[in-house]
Structure formats: C-alpha cells, structure tokens
C-alpha cells in the first residue's frame, strides 16, 4: 500500500467514486494487525487505497475528527462516508466497503 500525502488523498477522493485512506501510527500494535488486513483488502478491491502516518497529518486528524488509530476513512464522491476504528475482520471490512459503494443514496 502506498503512503499518501494529504494532497494525494484529496486528489484521489475527488477523482474517484470510492476511496480508502488508512490512518495509522508505526508504534501501535493494533495498527500492525490492521495493516495486514488492509494489505489483503488492497488485493481484493479496485478502489484507490493509500495509507498515512497520522503523526504527519495533524491537520487532517483535527479536520476529520479522528478519535484513534487505526482508522479507515471511506470516501464516496469526495465526502467521508464512514470512519472505521474497529477492524474486526477482512470480511467485515469488505462488506462495509461494498455496502457504501452500492448505496446510491449516499
């Protein structure tokens, strides 16, 4: 998974229907487990997907009101539709992503 800057995320979310942005910190044990799940997700979806260390994105953390890490920001048509903090399982993540992608009311 590629590291994204704030500008790369903004570009991806504004130019794609659905975008996944994984936020983590390197010293977080839960983030390491979530990173492995996200690497599996990356191989299973076609959406733009990137990651970033929250320590370098303080303004994003404040703006998006990120409460903890790991955090997955799922955007649709440029708008954050869901923040996932509990990375329960790969199937859970895939189902959540698919539900947002298929929901035309969003």
Handedness of CA 80, 41, 3, 52 (dihedral sign): positive
The reply to whether CATH 3.40.30.10 applies to domain 2-102 is yes
pLDDT of residue 106: 43
- pLDDT, tens digit, 9 for 90 and up, residues 34-46: 999 999 999 999 9
pLDDT of residue 58: 84
Instruction: Give 74's strand partners.
Output: 20, 82
What are the residue boundaries of the structural domains of the chain, listed by start? 2-102
pLDDT at 103: 78
Check residue 104 and give its pLDDT.
Answer: 58
The per-residue pLDDT for 37 is: 97
Show the low-confidence residues of the chain (pLDDT under 70).
104-106
CA dist 2 → 9, 49, 65 (Å): 11, 8, 23
């Amino acid at each position: 998974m590629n590291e994204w800057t704030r500008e790369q995320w903004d570009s991806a979310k504004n130019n794609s229907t659905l975008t996944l942005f994984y936020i983590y910190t390197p010293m977080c044990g839960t983030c390491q487990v979530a990173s492995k799940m996200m690497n599996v997700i990356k191989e299973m979806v076609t959406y733009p997907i990137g990651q970033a260390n929250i320590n370098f994105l303080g303004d994003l953390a404040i703006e998006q009101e990120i409460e903890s890490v790991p955090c997955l920001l799922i955007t649709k048509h440029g708008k954050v539709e869901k923040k996932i903090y509990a990375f329960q399982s790969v199937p859970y993540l895939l189902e959540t992503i698919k539900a947002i992608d298929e929901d035309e009311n969003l």
